[in-house]
Amino acid sequence: MLPRHLTPILQESLEDTPVLMLVGARQVGKSTLAAGLTRADRHFTLDDLSTLAAARADPAGFLQALPSGALIDEIQRAPELLLPLKASVDRDRRPGRFLLTGSANVLTLPRVADSLAGRMSVHQLWPLSQGELAGVDEDFIAAAFGEDLPAATTPDDLLPRLLQGGYPEVVSRRSERRRAAWFTAYLRTLMERDVRDLSRISGVTELPRLLTLLALRSGNLLNASDLARDAGLNNVTLTRYVDLLRALFLVDTLPAWSTNAGKRLIKAPKVLLPDSGLSAHLQGLTLARLERDRSLLGGLLENFVVGELSRQRGWSAVDVALYHYRTAGGQEVDAVLEARDGRVVGVEVKASATVSNREFRGLQALQEDAGARFHRGVVLYTGERVLPFGERLHALPVGALWQWRG
């Protein structure tokens, strides 16, 4: 198993918090990572039908019988455990009592009435980052909020990296055909089991098409009316379905950034998928297609970059929120990192080996809006040189994402 950068963060949480919840899509490595944090005789998976039956029959009694430090895997299969878990923790607040994993975000489900606020630390595990795959401790976020510039390059195998993504099982498969077979089986399993477990949706057959439509819109603003029309759904049903896909960590959204809550720019979020490999599969993108038509690369590269930033947020030395930026006049920045002290870093993505002043217009608009809070603006491109384009504005090779560590 490749080492995961989130491991020390989880270990710290177990030392000071009663409940640790590790969430993320199926097959990203949650169970493997969590199992390494607890003794083997304290592992209980709700994918086991007998264990699941016991948990559902008597949730309070099931929890009472568990040893301290117990791992409950796939908690979304028995969300009725969460309320008695809260009661148990209120009686005994020792740290590290329970470690939970979930392949669905149970905190967003309507039948879960209590979030264990103040008693639980929640962390998301994403597919493998480029640094994890390369065996380096990357922290582009912290480096971007520093002062130095990187020595970085764009890797020759950038396109295969985008198409592969970071699901551990996919990474281990060498051919496009075998990777496509895994994604197809993976999505079928999610639709046939997890969706039905989490929701009594009668039109479950519509979800694969909706997910494909969202993949095709990756990097664009989420226009619910247009999406509902193309999917053949009403707006209420569309919202419910998108929320379900988000709960399964199959879709992510990026909110709009503004200087303050009272001054909104473009309010609509951007839609993204959590993994560029999954997005490419849903769009039918292959290496041959990307080499033949480079116009298909832009959205996929943006999805890849924002996905890497999302992964690094879990362990970065600088705590940031992640947004996109778009003005009513059409100026935009693909990702905005806002630190807790208010400083912002803008990251624009260009699927080109050359850059010009035009690629910095969105960053310049962000710089003007943010004022003294603006720390740096970066255009990540597929070229090889670090280039200055004005005060605190630079073009960087896309490899800086995992090669720039401050």
Would you list the domain boundaries of the chain?
A: 7-124, 130-403
3-state secondary structure of 21: strand
Alpha-carbon gap, residue 219 to 239, rounded angstroms: 19
Burial of 340 (0-12, 13-18, 19+ CB in 10 A): exposed
Q: Give 230's strand partners.
A: none
The C-alpha atoms of residue 331 and residue 71 are separated, in whole angstroms, by 47
Q: What is the CATH number of domain 7-124?
A: 3.40.50.300
Nearest alpha-carbon partner for 380 in 341, 344, 353, 340 = 353
> How confident is the prediction along the chain (406 residues), in pLDDT tens digits per residue?
789 999 999 999 999 999 999 999 999 999 999 999 998 889 999 999 999 999 999 999 999 999 999 999 999 889 889 889 999 999 999 999 999 999 887 666 544 545 577 789 999 999 999 999 999 999 999 999 999 988 899 999 999 999 999 999 999 998 999 999 999 999 999 888 888 777 766 546 788 999 999 999 999 999 999 999 999 999 998 998 998 899 899 999 999 998 765 554 568 899 999 999 999 999 999 999 999 999 999 999 999 999 999 999 999 999 999 999 998 888 999 999 999 999 999 999 999 999 999 999 999 999 999 999 999 999 999 999 999 999 999 999 999 999 987 6
Q: Cα–Cα distances in Å, from 171 out to 28, 134, 314, 315? A: 11, 12, 21, 22
Question: Which residues are CB-contacts of 297 (< 8 A; sequence separation ≥ 6)?
Answer: 159, 162, 290, 351
Alpha-carbon span 124 to 193, nearest angstrom: 22
